[in-house]
């Protein structure tokens, strides 16, 4: 079976697909990705071919702001989101996507929920499609806005809007939005913390609790994190902070004896020996952290962060600080470190995640049903 996986060219959208991609490869399927050229390094590490289609998020965002006046990263309105994920991305990437589909000739397209080039290929090649969610369901009105825009984009190219044959859900039930109905073709899929290369993380040899500070690859601006790290440094904790892809330690005005910075590193390695994660609330970071039973403090930065943060708070596995002043964030970290109930709730979610079907089990089902 030939499987084309498609995602927005951001790590938070691409990395959650990798465990399934590995499982498909392991069972003998031919696998390729369709996304932006800027994430080629991640796929090269995995030995997965890339069919480049569409620009990177900075270009998509700039064009969205130009057209709508809305910043889709910090102000995710339905108009801005639909322009970014659907109108702009399809307009700038459709021809390359259709060419990729013709070159690879997939038997199955697997796309993450916010990708709208994959459905274009599935419709053009007349093959089944599986959609993978990234985390807890976002409000339906936002998804409807995206899907309605996509219908128009498909119609303009004389293509149908394909329906999902499978909907793969990595969110454990206790973390899912209340009352969310399972879509047709729903299947649970166990999420995994991303594993791969990166900077070696030092072992925690002190008796202090370790706090991992990670705001992903997009929201980790020094001007945002520096005040938080300065305040955290007043606590009796060991601090590891990720630099993302484009910053270095010299950009942070912090005591280097109190904060250990690491470059882009797989979450699997970052979580070792960690007692609490301070994060923006990206879905991949959230689910990977919970799969290890580690509680969180969430400071939403944009995109789907607020939805994820609300579910974390409701589950009891962490604290949300919507107005993330440094003092409030440090107080929240102190609370989560000091009160066992947060780790207990996170451990309960970890057990729930461990009981979900593995990527290998889901890959086998996709192969069997797609024949």
Locate the domains of the chain by residue range. 2-191+356-370, 210-354
| pLDDT per position as a tens digit, 310-353 | 999 999 999 999 877 899 999 999 999 999 999 999 999 999 99
Place of tokens 């440090």: 330
Q: What is the pLDDT of residue 38?
A: 92
- Pick from 264, 260, 263: nearest CA to 274: 260
Structural element, H or E, at residue 360: helix 359-370
pLDDT at 305: 82
**Structure confidence at residue 246 as a pLDDT band (50, 70, 90):** low
Predicted local distance difference test score (pLDDT) of residue 367? 87
Contact yes or no for 132/171 (Cβ under 8 A): no
Lowest mean pLDDT among 24-28, 77-81, 216-220: 216-220
Same fold, 2-191+356-370 and 210-354: yes
Looking at residue 218, its pLDDT comes to 63
How many residues would you count in the chain? Answer: 371
Q: CB under 8 Å to 246, separation ≥6 — which residues? A: none
161 contacts 150 by C-beta, under 8 angstroms: yes
What is the per-residue pLDDT for 197? 67
CA quadruple 266, 24, 13, 330: dihedral sign: negative
pLDDT band at 272 (very low <50, low <70, confident <90, very high): very high
CATH of 2-191+356-370, one of 3.30.70.141, 2.40.40.20, 3.10.270.10, 3.40.50.2000: 3.40.50.2000
- Which is higher by pLDDT, 368 or 288? 288
For residue 216, pLDDT over 90 is answered with no
Query: What's the token pair of residue 363?
Result: 């890959």
Distance between CA atoms of residues 63 and 65, nearest Å: 5
Q: Hunting for tokens 């702009």 — which residue is that?
A: 88
- Is it the case that residue 94 has pLDDT exceeding 90? yes
pLDDT score for 142? 82
What is the reported pLDDT for 335?
A: 96
Query: Which residues have CB under 8 Å from 260's CB, separation 6+?
Result: 202, 238, 239, 240, 241
3-class SS at 133?
Answer: coil
Number of H helices, E strands in the chain: 15, 13
Indicate if the pLDDT at residue 16 is higher than 90: yes
pLDDT exceeds cutoff 90 at 92: yes
pLDDT of residue 80: 86
Res 198: pLDDT: 63
Extract the tokens encoding 252.
């942070």
Q: How many CA atoms lie within 13 A of 46 on its CB side?
A: 26
Per-residue pLDDT, 98: 97
Q: Do the Cβ atoms of 4 and 118 come closer than 8 Å?
A: yes
Q: What are phi and psi of 6, to 5 degrees?
A: -135, 135
Q: Taking 70 as the threshold, does the pLDDT of residue 90 lie above it?
A: yes
Q: Which two tokens stand for residue 198?
A: 């990166």
Q: Tell me the average pLDDT of the chain.
A: 91
CATH topology of domain 210-354: Rossmann fold (3.40.50)
Task: Please indicate whether residue 365 or residue 219 has the higher confidence score (pLDDT).
Answer: 365
- Lowest mean per-residue pLDDT among 58-67, 127-136, 190-199, 264-273: 190-199
């Amino acid at each position: 079976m030939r499987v084309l996986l498609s995602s927005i060219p951001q790590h938070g959208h691409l990395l959650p697909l990798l465990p399934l991609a590995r499982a498909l490869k392991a069972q003998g399927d031919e696998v390729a990705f369709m996304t932006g050229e800027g994430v080629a390094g991640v796929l090269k590490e995995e030995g997965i071919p890339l069919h480049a289609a569409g620009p990177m998020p900075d270009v998509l965002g700039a064009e969205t702001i130009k057209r709508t006046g809305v910043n889709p990263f910090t102000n995710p309105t339905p108009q801005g989101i639909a322009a970014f994920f659907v109108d702009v991305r399809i307009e700038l990437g459709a021809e390359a996507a259709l060419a990729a589909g013709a070159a690879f000739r997939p038997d199955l397209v697997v796309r993450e929920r916010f990708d709208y080039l994959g459905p274009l290929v599935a419709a053009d090649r007349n093959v089944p499609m599986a959609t993978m969610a990234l985390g807890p369901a976002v409000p339906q009105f936002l998804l409807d806005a995206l899907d309605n825009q996509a219908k128009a984009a498909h119609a303009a190219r004389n293509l149908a809007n394909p329906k999902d044959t499978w909907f793969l859900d990595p969110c454990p039930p206790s973390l899912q939005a209340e009352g969310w109905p399972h879509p047709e073709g729903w299947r649970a899929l166990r999420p995994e913390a991303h594993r791969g290369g990166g900077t070696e993380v030092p072992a925690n040899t002190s008796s202090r609790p370790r706090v991992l500070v990670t705001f992903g690859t997009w929201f980790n601006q020094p001007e945002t994190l520096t005040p938080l790290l300065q305040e955290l440094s007043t606590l009796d904790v060991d601090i590891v902070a990720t630099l993302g892809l484009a910053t270095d330690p010299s950009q942070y005005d912090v005591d280097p004896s109190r904060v250990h910075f690491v470059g882009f590193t797989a979450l699997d390695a970052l979580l070792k020996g960690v007692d609490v994660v301070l994060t923006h609330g990206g879905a991949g970071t959230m689910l990977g952290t919970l799969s290890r039973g580690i509680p969180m403090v969430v400071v939403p930065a944009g995109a789907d962060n607020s939805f994820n943060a609300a579910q974390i708070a409701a589950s009891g596995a962490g604290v949300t600080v919507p107005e993330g002043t440094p003092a409030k964030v440090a107080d929240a970290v102190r609370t989560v470190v000091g009160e066992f109930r947060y780790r207990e709730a996170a451990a309960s979610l970890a057990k729930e995640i461990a009981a979900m079907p593995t990527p290998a089990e889901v890959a086998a089902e996709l192969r069997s049903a797609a024949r």
